[in-house]
Amino acid sequence: MIRVAEISDLPRILDLGELLHQESPRWRRLSFSRPRAEAQMRMCIEDPRGVIFLAERDGEVVGGIAGWADKHWASDDVVAQELTFFMTPEARGTLAPTRLICALNAWADNRGAKWLHAGTSTGLDPERTAGLYERLGFTRCAIGLEVVYGH
């Protein structure tokens, strides 16, 4: 089942977010701040520009996807972006990820967004994740680059 998150879901969302953070070879180079993550996820739940969809199996949240839709920095047009996409390892091969992406896609379209930008930045099987998005109608549109500092 896919549903919109409520404030009472924050502890589970944060647990899954921390799990993803620890699992990601890229993200675990950063400290995880539960208060910072909570503030961001709370904003997605409370602000009409944001949303979090959750996937439940047998009454337990097994994943979620957070999005934001607002005017582009250089345009009055609304664009949407996926902020984070988190799943328990056991739920990754199920229909839950597909349903979450479709829910976010429909939400962004209903908000009048010109596009929905989504991607994979965790370093966890990026080609598999990109392939899922592509099967759902997304096209590759950007290249991400980074430089890592020693502090």
Give the pLDDT mean for 1-27: 95
At 43 the pLDDT is 98
Contacts of 73 (CB under 8 A, 6+ apart): none
Q: Count CB-CB contacts under 10 A for residue 30.
A: 9
- pLDDT value, residue 64: 98
Question: By C-alpha distance, which of 53, 39, 47, 87 is closest to 69?
Answer: 47
Q: What band does 38 get if pLDDT is binned at 50, 70 and 90?
A: very high
Could you count the other beta carbons within 10 Å of the beta carbon of residue 98?
14
Tell me whether strands 116-117 and 78-87 are parallel, antiparallel or unpaired: parallel
pLDDT for 143 beyond 90:
no
Average of per-residue pLDDT values in the chain: 95
Q: Quick: pLDDT tens for 85-134.
A: 999 999 998 999 999 999 999 999 999 999 999 988 887 888 889 999 99
Where along the chain do its domains lie? 2-135
Q: Which of 132, 145, 124, 101 is nearest to 26 (CA)?
A: 124
d(CA 64, CA 85): 6
The mean per-residue pLDDT over the stretch 22-33 comes to 92
- Whole-number pLDDT of residue 122: 85
d(CA 77, CA 36): 28
Residue 68 pLDDT exceeds 90? yes
Beta-ladder partners of 27: none
Q: What is the pTM of this model?
A: 0.94
Give Cα separations from 93 to 76, 96, 97, 98 (angstroms).
38, 8, 8, 10
Which one has a higher pLDDT value, 36 or 123?
36
The rounded percent of the chain whose pLDDT value lies above 90 is 83
Pairwise CA distance, residues 143 & 117, whole Å: 12
Could you tell me the fold of the domain covering 2-135?
Aminopeptidase (3.40.630)
